[in-house]
């Protein structure tokens, strides 16, 4: 069956890493028909708006999108296209697995976490204003609703159950934010009681950051609100090997969008130096969502092999300091070609490789299958 997929190349390093993912997709042999639409800076140049209606229409039609990062002007300019896409398409569940790959590029080879983040409200609701004409004070409204909190916490527990995960940790700041924080906390506690088969605990966001850096293997699935989830997922990406290897997915009731955790990395744009793995592993998650498990497993194995061989890796995985065996960095396109070359060759009879905490037999084989 041909899968129709919306493809949003994005800004900065976006087109390079998206092209890399397309190359790997082709190597899987899965029939994918890409519907390419522009959002972000390319869309502004072409049509004067960063998020043309055609983008939303395409994702609503195909139900699935693979996306590159999109630049958001800092401090002024247009509203984030990423935030607008999530709210317009009600992509409420941001799922960001942080899996250390072959122990490379990380001080924590055991890292195997999933951050589940509410993606439509909180401090990203866009409700903000200057208090006075002099711009000496400003307010941003933190919108937290019971409906969205219940929905995201339920999503996290269901995901934990499907993935055979042992624990869900609810993260908030209910000691200080006595309305919004407490509302999320109550939603978490009441939902946790409905999943007696899955352990649950709570952490205040500040303590959570410290705990994660000290002992990431104590945690499993983390669920939290929008801004806290954004920050925690970059932290977890850092534990697992960096933004270059951190994929992501966004789920709504009818649509799913797959994109790396990282942004458009302007300093690497057009230089063919960015790590393509985060986008390639976002493709892997997309293939699982489409029911193409065998192809997804092949992509995961190929990425794992290329990173563990450490012959053809980009600068972030070749850095001295992080690795015992520094190598000279390869280009984004060379690493993508190497992963694509491996896809049909990998040994599919051996157990799927996993971060060391889980071993090869622990955990589930599904990793975010949703179908």
Cβ distance to ligand NAD smaller for residue 321 or 371: 321
Cβ distance to ligand NAD smaller for residue 96 or 203: 96
- Among 9, 105, 244, 363, the residue binding ligand NAD under the rule CB under 6 A is 244
> Minimal distance in Å, beta carbon 269 to ligand NAD?
10
User: Near ligand NAD by CB under 6 A, which window of 163-171, 202-210, 267-275, 346-354?
Assistant: 267-275
- Among 249, 274, 283, 368, the residue binding ligand NAD under the rule CB under 6 A is 274
User: Near ligand NAD by CB under 6 A, which window of 64-72, 126-134, 200-208, 352-360?
Assistant: 64-72
Is the distance from CB of 34 to CB of 81 less than 8 angstroms?
A: no
Residue among 11, 112, 173, 219 flagged as catalytic:
173
Residue 173 designated active-site: yes
Size of the site for ligand NAD (CB under 6 A): 20
Residue 206 designated active-site: yes
Residue 112 designated active-site: no
Residue 220 designated active-site: no
* Residue 275 within binding range of ligand NAD, rule CB under 6 A: yes
* Residue 94 within binding range of ligand NAD, rule CB under 6 A: no
Of 6-25, binders to ligand NAD (CB under 6 A) are 13, 17
- Among 111, 120, 264, 282, the residue binding ligand NAD under the rule CB under 6 A is 264
Residues acting as catalytic residues: 124, 173, 206, 230
What residues line the site for ligand NAD (CB under 6 A)? Answer: 13, 17, 69-72, 82, 243-244, 259, 262-265, 267-268, 274-275, 278, 316
């Amino acid at each position: 069956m041909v899968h129709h997929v919306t493809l949003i190349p994005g800004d900065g390093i976006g087109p390079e890493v998206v092209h890399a993912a397309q190359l790997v997709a082709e190597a899987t042999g899965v029939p994918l028909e890409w519907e390419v639409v522009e959002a972000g800076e390319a869309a502004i140049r072409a049509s004067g708006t960063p998020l043309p209606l055609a983008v939303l229409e395409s994702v609503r039609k195909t139900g699935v999108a693979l996306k590159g990062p999109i630049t958001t002007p800092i401090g002024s300019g247009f509203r984030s296209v990423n935030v607008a896409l999530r709210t317009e398409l009600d992509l409420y569940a941001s799922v960001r697995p942080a899996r250390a790959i072959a122990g490379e590029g990380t001080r924590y080879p055991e890292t195997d976490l999933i951050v589940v983040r509410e993606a439509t409200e909180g401090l990203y609701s866009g409700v903000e204003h200057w208090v006075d004409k002099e711009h000496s004070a400003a307010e941003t409204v933190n919108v937290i609703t019971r409906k969205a909190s219940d929905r995201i916490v339920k999503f996290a527990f269901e995901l934990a159950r499907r993935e055979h995960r042992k624990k869900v940790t609810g993260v908030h700041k209910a000691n200080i934010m006595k309305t919004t924080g407490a509302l999320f906390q109550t939603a978490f506690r009441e939902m946790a009681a409905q999943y007696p088969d899955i352990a649950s605990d709570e952490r205040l966001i500040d303590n959570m950051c410290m705990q994660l850096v000290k002992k990431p293997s104590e945690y499993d699935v983390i669920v939290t609100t929008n801004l806290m989830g954004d920050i925690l997922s970059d932290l977890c990406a850092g534990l697992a090997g960096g933004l270059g290897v951190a994929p992501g997915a966004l789920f709504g009731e009818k649509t799913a969008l797959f994109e790396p955790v990282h942004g458009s990395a302007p300093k690497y744009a057009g230089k063919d130096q960015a790590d393509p793995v985060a986008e390639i592993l976002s493709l892997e998650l997309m293939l699982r969502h489409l029911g193409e498990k065998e192809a997804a497993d092949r992509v995961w194995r190929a990425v794992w092999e290329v990173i563990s061989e450490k012959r053809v890796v980009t600068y972030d995985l070749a850095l001295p300091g992080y690795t015992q065996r520094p190598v000279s960095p390869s280009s984004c396109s060379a690493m993508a070609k190497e992963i694509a070359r491996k896809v049909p060759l990998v040994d599919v009879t051996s157990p799927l490789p996993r971060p060391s905490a889980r071993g090869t037999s622990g955990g589930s084989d599904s990793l975010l299958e949703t179908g």
